[in-house]
Amino acid sequence: MANSGSMQNLSNSDPDNPAPPENKHTGPYRAFRTFAFLCGLAVALFLGGFLFFINEIPKTGTENLPRADGIVALTGAADRIEIAVGLLHAGKGQRLLISGVNTATTRNALGSSMPQFANLFACCIDLDYQALNTVGNANETRKWVEDQGFMSVIIVTSNYHMPRSLIEIERAMPNIMFIPYPVVTERVKIDQWWSNPGSLKLLASEYLKYLEAILRSNFHSAASTIMGTAY
């Protein structure tokens, strides 16, 4: 009889409380939920970063701009160059570098487009034809700054381009003081980007390049630290 009772206990069969069926999809379902959560988190971080980036874009120009050793204008919009030349004329720097000039554009052509500043093009403005992108701007700016022996530089570029430009330039020259001078244009609607398809497309593209610049800067810093530790 004892053995019979033991066999009943081992069988674990209770008609009134049957054991729940095993869920064969528990593993794949959990994996899917984890994947969906990670995707949602990635999207949230991406969108949050985009909003942070938008908030970091200067909405107005720089007031009470201090004087610096030099001025650098990054090409991409005609008003950047004219504003930078105006700053040079106002005595905000000793020399001006226009970085990323199209190879078909000559010094005479630029001077002719701004005849009121013709004397500056003859004495105090340097043209860089090598830079093809913002990374190139940073590298050519570094060479120019080192050749001139400058320690402070005003950077002139569009407001939406300024965050990425500073990342690249400061990475190339960590010991130089850079003063941003953002050029604000009505063509890019920073405050109402969500309602302007052109502005949204431009800002989204710039945000992706901004993230790339951050990754490149962090990688460069990590590599420099590792190399410094190795030696």
**Is residue 29 one of the residues assigned to a domain?**
no
Residue of 211, 57, 87, 226 whose CA lies nearest to 155: 87
**Is residue 111 one of the residues assigned to a domain?**
yes
**Is residue 133 one of the residues assigned to a domain?**
yes
Q: Which domain holds residue 122?
A: 70-187
**Is residue 32 one of the residues assigned to a domain?**
no
**Is residue 167 one of the residues assigned to a domain?**
yes
**Is residue 3 one of the residues assigned to a domain?**
no
The CATH number for 131's domain is 3.40.50.620
Give me the number of domains the chain comprises.
1
**Is residue 51 one of the residues assigned to a domain?**
no
The pTM of the full predicted model, rounded to 2 decimals, is 0.78
The per-residue pLDDT for range 138-191, each reduced to its tens digit, is 999 999 999 999 999 999 999 999 999 999 999 999 999 999 999 998 788 888
**Is residue 204 one of the residues assigned to a domain?**
no
Highest mean pLDDT among 90-94, 110-114, 215-219: 90-94
